[in-house]
Structure formats: C-alpha cells, structure tokens
Amino acid sequence: MGDHGNSVTVGESSGSGDLCKSSTSGSLNSNNQNGSNSDISCHDDEDMIDDDADMIDDDGDEDADYAFDYNDDDIYEDDYSSMQDQFDNVDLPPGVEASLPWLKDISSSECKQAIAFSRTESSSKAKVDETDDIVMQKFQQFKQFDTVDSFPDHHYDKEGTKDAQKPKNWAKKIQEEWKILEENLPETIFVRVCESRMELLRAVIIGPQGTPYHDGLFFFDCLFPSTYPAGPPKVHYHSGGLRLNPNLYQCGKVCLSLLGTWHGRNSENWIPEKSTMLQVLVSIQALILNEKPFFNEPGYPSTYPGSEGQRRSKEYNESTFILSLKTMMYTLRKPPKSKEALMWILDTTQE
C-alpha cells in the first residue's frame, strides 16, 4: 500500500420497360399546324404507318414516331407563359417557388411553432451546459479532506464519548493521520474529520471503474478508539440493509484483516508502527470493492475454478450492480445529516 502501510488480505433494383407495352393517348390543342386531334397508340402501329406514309421521307429511314411535324416549341411556350401569368398573380411566401396545394396547408403558426421549438431546444442545451459548468466548478472546489463542526448521525457518536481519557500521544497520532490523509488521499476518496471530536471520521469511497460498484458512493463511519494506534480503528459501513459484497455486512460490519475482523497473515494485520487510516480506506476500495467480489468469499476461488467460477462471478456482478444502484437510492432518500455529507451526494454524483 505504498509508504504508509502493509499488505492486506482479502443490405438496387433495375427496371426495364418496353415502351410498346404501354399506350399513350393525348389531345393536342388547335395551335398545331395540322388543325386536327390525333390519337397515338403503340397498339395501332401498322394503321398509323399506312395513314401517314406521305409524311415519311423517301428514304424511309426515319422512325414513324418522330415523323409528325408539330410545332412543339410554340405549344410549350404558350403553356409556360400561361403558367407564369398565374404564378405572377400569386402572393407567395418568401422562399417559395411554386404555388403547391399542400404547401398552402402549412400555416404560418406551425412555422412559428417549429422555430420556437428550435429556439427552446437551443436554450435548453445552453442551460444544461451552464449547469454542467457550475457543477464542475463546485466539484473542483470540493475538498477531499476537510473539517466539519459535527457528525450528528455518526455511528460511533455515543461510543466515542465513553472514552474520556485518551493515551498521552493519542491526539498527536490522530493529527498525524489527518496530515497523511490530507496529502495522500486518492481522487476517489473523500474524508471529513471534526476538531472537537477527533476520534470521529467519516469517509466516502467512490466505486472504482471496471467494477459493479463503478461511480457508486459508499459511506463509512470510523472511530479512533482510546487504544489507537496500538489497536486498529473501528469502521462501520452504511449498508441501507443491503449485502452487496461478501466483506460488507448488512449490519455494517467491514470484514478486513487490517481491522482485525478477519484472520490473516501477520503482515496483513494491523501493525501499530506502520498501519494507517489511509491504508484502511485504500484497502476497502481496492480489495473489497473490486472487479470480481464473488471470489472475496473464502474458499470460492478453489471451489469454483475455471468457467464455472467465471459464470457465477458474472451473475454475482449483475446482482451486485443492481444492489449498488439501490444503495445510491437509499442514500438519496436518507442522506447523512451533515451538510458536508449531503454535498458529497449532490456534487460528486453529478460529476
């Protein structure tokens, strides 16, 4: 655990069309030079060729379909002028190039609503961005280690007052612990202490990435007993009645060899000259709130080896993730009474 402690256990279509399979009939107006109406149909090709043979060149090479000498340009020009006159008399909205019936159905109020919605959406996004900036500023100003006036709902509040007499160097040792915490806390652990109640400490540990506890907030109340540092501190977990780890009990017990709540090798137990509160908190985060907490249960690594163990571990993680979310809901509904603890929830979670 670095310089401050010992080790611990725990996916095109083409179409082709035959023009002679469809028929086209049409009436031409009196502007054509023939002065008569003609019906053209691909089904009557032979009659058409006989009747109009005199209109075909002697070479006979031209296609009969294109032998008619209509003045098409005049027809199209007259039609276009007529259409243009109609359009010139229409009071069109700006940007509209044709008077289409369906376009008239769009009322100006609907257009205004669309514009208003777009503006509202932009405004909402700006407000969200502004809120995010404020939250980030508050988070950056939020100290990892700080003092508070009191812990009115601290788990060890009454127990701490029982130890009226403390050892000679007890207060000095606590102050040393504070200094170590202030200078060495990782970014995802926050600690608050109280100068008038030096024996009390509250910590919030953020669940590590890549674990079923990711971004969850886990509250721990700690006590430096009168026997400290000869004996380990006491730690209580605010479980909300949920068991989301083999080492974190519903009653609040934290099972860790460093705390003397689990047996371990000598180097894994509390060593008065070397062990620190920082080591306790980092051990909880790294060894308990880990990637595969299923194997925290004693004997499980050997009992469930290979693929069976991994399957069970995955199922446990899925269940643990849900419990982690429920723990957050519990904390939001019943937050710690201190203002600092509430700030942890409001600021840290939004970040």
pLDDT tens per residue across span 93-152: 555 444 445 444 545 556 666 666 666 767 777 777 777 777 667 666 778 999 988 888
Q: Give the model's pLDDT for residue 65.
A: 46
Tens of pLDDT, residue by residue over 57-75, are: 444 444 444 444 445 555 5
Q: Give the model's pLDDT for residue 41.
A: 40
Q: Give the model's pLDDT for residue 154.
A: 93
Q: Give the model's pLDDT for residue 40.
A: 38
Q: Give the model's pLDDT for residue 248.
A: 97
Q: Give the model's pLDDT for residue 214.
A: 95
The whole-number average pLDDT for the span 294-302 is 94
Q: Give the model's pLDDT for residue 263.
A: 84
Catalytic residues: 255
Look at residue 69 and give its three-state secondary structure.
coil
For residue 292, pLDDT beyond 90: yes
When comparing pLDDT for 267 and 45, which is higher? Answer: 267
When comparing pLDDT for 118 and 198, which is higher? Answer: 198
For residue 332, pLDDT beyond 70: yes
For residue 334, pLDDT beyond 90: no
Tens of pLDDT, residue by residue over 15-54, are: 444 433 343 344 334 444 444 443 434 444 444 444 444 4
